[in-house]
Structure 1
């Protein structure tokens, strides 16, 4: 049985953090295979999901690749930036 604890600091309830989105933005220098490999290894996407995200990004210019707490997404963003992907947390 999981227990949920309230984390309150300075009067703020950190359990009620709004969801953020990690957005992949199209660029002209990363290959399709490189983007797919990064999404599979760093975002825990399966190959088909990663390919769909890469295609959407190529055709629309961007794609929402993950949802979650901004703190968690910022860590993944840093890793993706190291591999040369253009990403943004909104």
Structure 2
């Protein structure tokens, strides 16, 4: 593979990644661990282990990226999290 071809593929990969957005979930003093875990499983399609790990990170670090993807997909997911009383935003 030529160097030029390899660099072009790397640039294309980076361009694709820049179209990715994230849902960031923030810590609060209201919702229980179990509620947040269940919400992540339902809304973000996490496994139990993923949801537990994200919930622990949110608790100790104050925030955690819980889902990445295209904006249109994340918009409805973020709205569902907000409707459940969680603090989240798309970045």
Q: Tell me the TM-score normalized by structure 1.
A: 0.80
CA RMSD in angstroms, aligned pairs only: 1.6
Report what 2:73 is aligned to: 72
Structure 1 or 2: more helix by fraction? 2
How many residues align structurally? Answer: 76
Report the Cα offset of residue 70 of structure 1.
1.1
Unaligned runs of at least 5 residues, structure 2: 1-15
- Paired residue secondary structure (2:46): coil
Unaligned runs of at least 5 residues, structure 1: 1-14
**Cα deviations across residues 18-71 of structure 1 (Å, max 9, x unaligned)?**
100100000010000000000011111011110000000000000000000111
Whether 1:59 and 2:46 are equivalent positions in the alignment is no
Report what 1:21 is aligned to: 22
* Equivalent residues of 1:17, 1:69 under 8 A apart: no
Runs of 4+ displaced beyond 3 Å: none
Report the Cα offset of residue 17 of structure 1.
7.2
Report what 1:11 is aligned to: none
Structure 1 or 2: more strand by fraction? 1
Distance 1:69 1:34, change over 3 A: same
Report what 1:89 is aligned to: 90
In 1, Cα distance between the equivalents of 2:44 and 2:23? Answer: 10
